[in-house]
Chains A and B, each alone.
Chain A
Amino acid sequence: MNIFIILGMGAAVGFLSGMFGVGGGFLITPLLIFYNIPPIVAVATGANQVVASSISGALSHFRRGTLDVKLGTVLLFGGLAGATVGIWIFSLLRSVGQLDLVISLLYVVLLGTVGILMLLESIRALRRAAKNQPVSLRRPGQHSWVHRLPLKMRFKKSKIYLSVIPVVGLGFGIGILTSIMGVGGGFIMVPAMIYLLRIPTNVVVGTSLFQIIFVTAYTTMMQATTNYSVDIVLAFILMVAGVIGAQYGVRVGQKLRGEQLRALLALLVLAVGARLAVDLVVTPADVYSVVSEGVYR
């Protein structure tokens, strides 16, 4: 393992995450896998890295008062339950030898979907900008099936009266993704909170970061105690490089135009997904593999 490559990887992903305001977990884990780090280690270490990259954002949102702790706590209940189930699935997949495959497949689906959606969105935005049309904010309807669910709760900070069922459900799903894929899940949670739950945009990012920190921290603990797969040295190098890279990313991001940047990120995401997909299809050098069960360690 070359420390400079890891540093470069961390800094590059940190730069991108600062530029686009994303966590970067969904790029770190596949990059580690490309660098021949076993997927089980890449996922657990990725989750640990996300803790560090999310904390500074969450702190600044908390200071600005754009973090709904109550809503975040309800999300967190679902998140912790989801992460627990996810770790269980993770261990099960590992014991039957399908873990690497499932991680790759999930990434191909996730990166492919996110990449295509982002690309379409930014192309639309670029066209709009070319025609000099004003950005038409789609006014979401006031009520949908989500808002007819029972067990409603009032979230003062978000100024919303909402059923806890979809909130816990969303947290649960993200928790599973965190433990199996080593991502924070902000890139799914943020759109879901805005478009599905109709939560005001100003509290969405801070609140999702709040839940991400606790769920990734919990996942790191679970991975360390059940699969012994957290590499603290690797994680630390990635963290340090990542937080520094993010600072420069933020600066560059403020100077450049959003739509073109997003189109670039979409292409990058698609490229990473495509590379993983190719690895699944190409005939492996050796179809046989051997693993030590670690029963008598």
Chain B
Amino acid sequence: MRAVAALLLALGLALPAAAQVLEDRPVEFPEKLEIGISTDEIAISSDFRGADLTIFGAIEGYDPSLLAQRKYDIVVALEGPKDNNTVRVKERIFGIWVNRRSMTFELVPESYSLSSTRDVETIAEPPVLNGVGVGIQHIRLSPIGYVGDGSTITEFREAFRRLKESGGFYQRDPGGVQFISASLFKATVKLPASVPNGTHVVRAHLFRDGVFIAEKALPLRVMKTGIEQMISNAAYNNALAYGAFSVLLALLTGWLASIVFRKD
């Protein structure tokens, strides 16, 4: 216990120093990324079956010769609202399938839609992508709590990605980003039919020959409209009134039935 405290203390002291070192090193690239969307708010009705969102952007301060050699790559991600997610795995006990082991990942996006100039895996090396946290295979999945010797992290991460992809929450479109003039590009990201309500983030990343150069993010509010969402909002935001109304509705239905169908 004391050893851990000492270690944490040492880390705490070491961190500001490390940050200093990083700040001292000038890692300035001339290129900048600009993006724009026509709206910062999308209203979605209950019959929504998915749609495409188009994002325009430009690389500023680019090197024309590198651009001509197609050395620039752009990856645009639409990240849904974040929450902790728990992956569980069932095992057979006395013939019955029971949830046994589990792992909770901290603040992962509920939905993730990726669009890029080419397959993300070919744009940069895995360590670079992991560092930036871009790409379904490289999204940050940090477990919370005790994970034992850590040998099962890979298993749970893979299961998480597979479940999110097969559920349509995580999507990718290699080729969804196209240059429409020298440095002007258009990115199409898919909004799945089950797009979660809340604040999403459009995050664009610029890579130059496998090196991460710049990032630009814009918030996008997705608001579900219609009666279903109104009811769902009431259930969460006015839970007490919602519960009371549910009971009242039941009492009224039962009482009315007893009047309507009264035998005498």
Residues of A within 8 A of B (CB): 48-49, 51-56, 59-60, 97-98, 101, 105, 217, 220-225, 228, 230, 232-233, 235-236, 239-240, 243-244, 246-247, 280-281, 283-284, 286-297
Contacts and interface: CB of A to CB of B under 8 A. Distances in A.
Interface string B152-179: 0000000110111000000000000000
B261 interface: yes
B207 to A, nearest CB: 30
A283 B91 CA distance: 10
A107 B66 CA distance: 67
A297 B83 contact: yes
B159 A232 contact: no
Nearest to A235: B246
Nearest to A49: B250
B254 A243 contact: yes
Interface string B232-254: 00011001101111110111011
A59 B81 contact: no
A98 B250 contact: no
Nearest to B144: A293
Contact of B88 (A222, A246, A289): A289
Given A230-B235, A290-B159, A225 B89 contact: no
A286 B261 contact: no
B87 A295 contact: no
Given A233-B231, A280-B96, A288 B250 contact: no
A297 B236 contact: yes
A231 to B, nearest CB: 8
Contact of A101 (B99, B160, B261): B99
A230 B258 contact: no
A284 B231 CA distance: 33
B163 A290 contact: yes
Given A51-B247, A281-B95, 16 more contacts: A54-B254, A55-B255, A56-B257, A101-B98, A220-B243, A220-B246, A221-B240, A224-B246, A225-B243, A230-B235, A230-B242, A232-B242, A235-B249, A289-B99, A290-B88, A293-B86
B239 A228 contact: yes
Contacts of B251: 51-52, 55, 217
A220 B239 CA distance: 11
B87 A290 contact: yes
Contact of A287 (B97, B231, B235, B244): B97
Given A53-B254, A98-B98, A288 B88 contact: yes
A162 to B, nearest CB: 30
A118 B235 CA distance: 39
B160 A240 contact: no
B84 A295 contact: yes
Contacts of A232: 231, 235, 242, 245-246, 249
Nearest to A289: B88
Residue of B85, B95, B245, B257 with highest tally of chain A CB at under 10 A = B257
B110 interface: yes
B246 A293 contact: no
A293 B250 contact: no
Nearest to A291: B86
Contacts of B257: 52, 56, 243-244, 246-247
B194 to A, nearest CB: 12
Contact of A289 (B163, B240, B244): B163
B37 to A, nearest CB: 24
B49 interface: no
A225 B253 contact: no
A59 B255 contact: yes
Contacts of A53: 254
Contact of A236 (B96, B102, B253): B253
A221 B255 CA distance: 19
Given A97-B88, A230-B242, A281 B255 contact: no
B82 interface: yes
A116 to B, nearest CB: 20
B163 A288 contact: yes
A297 B87 CA distance: 18
Nearest to B169: A290
18 contacts: A55-B250, A56-B261, A105-B96, A220-B247, A225-B240, A230-B235, A230-B243, A235-B246, A243-B261, A247-B261, A281-B97, A284-B97, A287-B97, A290-B86, A291-B86, A293-B104, A294-B83, A295-B84
A291 B99 CA distance: 13
B90 interface: yes
Given A220-B243, A288-B159, A295-B83, A56 B250 contact: no
A247 B102 CA distance: 48
A224 B240 contact: yes
Contacts of A293: 83-86, 104
